[in-house]
């Protein structure tokens, strides 16, 4: 077989438009599930109370002092609000494009890892609707940072959705935090594959920054962030077996598809000439 007709190496994605379609589907599933599964307020509050109680029992509840600092200092809160509303939807696709262009041999495993982890996160949203700290009763002392500074951003007073669209957002999709999970994935991609030292350091700092942002803005609990990291870890474990299963299924279907025409030609050759 000539080099011009040889297929791409096994495991390397062939068409950018297929990958774009897959990424769009993952994003649509992520946002769509948040819209469809709204959850019950009573149940969501109960789950939020339980998470906060567990953190207090473990003496691990940084949300209060982080949110207090953000509430007192707008120079902390406003950049954090923009980071929460923006980076989640910009950095992740940029990392995917970078992997596609610069590390094609790593791309397929990385995007499968991200997709599986996202699906696991969606399962968490649907099975455990959780009210974030900003939606708890006022007696808990949390301030909705994004509502406080809505006038300077494009988000409205309800959730981080664009103004006028807050009612379309599932505000109980807090457990696990895919903001933190996706940030961890992005950070690991930079740490493992970036060549420049500053980019690798940025990869280490990015998930930490996002974890501080989601807690300081009262959008997530610490345990949400921990669960987001755990989901990414489980996705990493499942990515290779999922790809192996996909490749094996594809090879079998290719063999079957190749046998059918061969059998048809064989049967035709046995038909006696008139």
pLDDT digits (tens, 9 = 90+) for 76-127: 999 999 999 899 889 999 999 999 999 989 999 999 999 999 999 989 988 8
Asked, for residue 164, whether it belongs to a domain, the answer is yes
pLDDT greater than 70 at residue 10:
no
- For the CA atoms of the chain, what is the radius of gyration? 23
pLDDT, tens digit (0-9, with 9 covering 90-100), for 227-246: 999 999 999 999 999 999 98
| pLDDT, average across residues 133-159 | 85
| Count of the separate structural domains present in the chain | 1
Alpha-carbon span 258 to 150, nearest angstrom? 60
Mean pLDDT of the chain: 83
Asked, for residue 13, whether it belongs to a domain, the answer is no
Under 8 Å between Cβ of 145 and 218: yes
The overall pTM is greater than 0.85: no
Asked, for residue 268, whether it belongs to a domain, the answer is no
Under 8 Å between Cβ of 55 and 140: no
Handedness of CA 161, 168, 41, 128 (dihedral sign): negative
Q: Provide φ and ψ at 58, rounded to 5°.
A: -90, 0
According to DSSP H, which parts of the chain are helical?
16-36, 41-57, 63-72, 74-102, 104-127, 145-148, 178-193, 197-216, 222-270
Using the structure block, give the residue that is written with the tokens 């598809």. Answer: 257
Which range marks the domain in which residue 154 is found? 44-253
pLDDT, tens digit (0-9, with 9 covering 90-100), for 32-61: 665 665 567 899 999 999 999 999 999 988
Alpha-carbon span 180 to 205, nearest angstrom? 12
Asked, for residue 108, whether it belongs to a domain, the answer is yes
Alpha-carbon span 218 to 213, nearest angstrom? 8
pLDDT greater than 70 at residue 11:
no
């Amino acid at each position: 077989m000539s080099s011009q007709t040889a297929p791409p190496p096994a495991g390397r994605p062939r068409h950018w438009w297929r990958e774009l379609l897959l990424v769009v589907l993952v994003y649509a599933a992520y946002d769509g599930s948040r819209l469809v599964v709204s959850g019950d307020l009573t149940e969501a509050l109960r789950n939020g109370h339980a998470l906060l109680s567990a953190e207090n029992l473990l003496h691990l509840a940084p949300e209060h002092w982080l949110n207090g600092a953000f509430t007192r200092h707008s120079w902390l809160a406003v950049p954090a609000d923009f980071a929460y509303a923006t980076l989640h939807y910009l950095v992740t696709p940029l990392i995917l494009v970078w992997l596609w262009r610069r590390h094609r041999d790593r791309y397929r495993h990385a995007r499968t890892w991200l997709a599986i982890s996202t699906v696991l996160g969606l399962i968490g949203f649907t099975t455990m609707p959780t009210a974030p700290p900003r939606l708890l009763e006022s007696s808990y002392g949390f301030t909705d940072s994004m509502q406080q500074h809505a006038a300077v951003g494009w988000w409205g007073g309800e959730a981080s959705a664009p103004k006028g669209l807050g009612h379309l957002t599932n505000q109980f999709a807090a457990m696990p935090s895919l903001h933190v999970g996706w940030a961890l994935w992005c950070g690991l991609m930079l740490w493992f594959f970036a060549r420049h030292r500053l980019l690798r350091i940025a990869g280490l700092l990015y998930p930490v920054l996002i974890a501080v942002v989601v807690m300081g803005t009262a959008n997530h609990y610490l345990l949400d962030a921990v669960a987001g990291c755990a989901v990414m870890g489980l996705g990493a474990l499942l990515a290779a077996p999922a790809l192996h299963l996909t490749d094996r299924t594809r090879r079998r279907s290719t063999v079957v598809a190749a046998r059918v025409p061969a059998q048809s030609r064989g049967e035709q050759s046995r038909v006696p000439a008139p």
